[in-house]
Structure 1
Amino acid sequence: MRHKRSTPNRGYRVADQIQRDLAELLRDLKDPRIGMVTLNNVEVTPDYAHAKVFFSVLIGNPQECEAALNEAAGFLRNGLFKRLQIHTVPTLHFHFDKTTERAAELSALIVQANATRAKDD
């Protein structure tokens, strides 16, 4: 018996679907520590056992939010089971994504440097 060849980019499509479904499921969470959360990216392991979910927070404490999301991971995974048509629904691991925060810091530094240069000219 030949093994069925895996569909190209399936991992990316599954990760994308998980990201969309999680965004909807997050609205149902009542935990006050979870503020305005944006899911930036989902990375799924090749065996679909684990998924890293990267998020940023508009309002709220990132560490508290990360702890609350990881506590709710089982509930969210259960919600994904009902929505996804895949054999293995990954265990979710939430990580605060510092990219947006870092981008804002760099942008402020650039503005500051340009202002200093304009003063010197």
Structure 2
Amino acid sequence: MQQELARLLQFTLSDPRLKMVSVTGVDVSRDLSHAKVFFTQMGVDDAEAAAVTTSTLDRASGFLRSEIARTATLRTVPKLRFCFDESVGRGRDMEALIRDVRAADIELGADSDSTEEQ
């Protein structure tokens, strides 16, 4: 499901608001009636832009669902609900924090080396 949605978003939809959208995960309910599709978009970190992309994808969900029904061998195609995946942005923020701490540790290590020599 994730690969098929990614392919459809990349090659089938021509909406310019959906440029650089990547499907990061799909959670399908046990009875296959609903699917929560997680996505990220390159260059989008604020909630307002993510909301615009989410509403655009929600409007295209009927088309995407019919395309999946045409190509998939599923008995029923789940209703799609799109959610912006904030974990990528949080991971980037955590990485920046770790980089800052490492830089501070290196500075402190250099300062402590110079004080030990005196």
If the TM-score is normalised by the length of the shorter chain, which range does it land in?
0.7 to 0.9
- Using the TM superposition, give the Cα deviation of residue 85 of structure 1 relative to its aligned residue in structure 2, in angstroms: 1.0
> What amino acid maps onto 1:63 in structure 2?
A
Verify: 1:113 aligned to 2:101, yes or no: yes
Q: CA-to-partner distance for each residue in 1:67-120, whole Å, 9 max, x for gaps?
A: 111110001001011011111100000101011111100000001011112112
Amino-acid identity (%): 37
Secondary structure of 1:94's match?
strand
Pairing 1:88–2:76 present: yes
1:3 matched residue in structure 2: none
Ranges in structure 2 where 5+ consecutive residues have no aligned partner: 110-118
Are 1:21 and 2:4 counterparts?
yes
Q: TM-score, with normalisation over the residues of structure 2?
A: 0.83
Q: TM-score, normalised by structure 1?
A: 0.81
What amino acid is the match of 1:34?
L
* Residues 1:70 and 2:78 are matched in the alignment: no
Q: Which runs of structure 1 show a deviation greater than 3 angstroms over 4 or more consecutive aligned residues? A: none
Contact 1:35 1:65 in 2 (8 A): no
Shift of 1:59: 3.6
Structure 1: state its 5+ residue gaps. 1-17
CA distance in 2, matches of 1:68, 1:118: 46
CA RMSD of aligned residues (A): 1.1
Larger mean CA deviation between 23-32 and 44-53 belongs to: 23-32
Higher helix residue share: 2
- Equivalent AA in structure 1 for residue 108 of structure 2: D
Aligned twin of 2:112: none
- Contact 1:35 1:59 (8 Å CA) reproduced: no
Query: Which whole-Å CA distance do the structure 2 matches of 1:38 and 1:111 have between them?
Result: 26
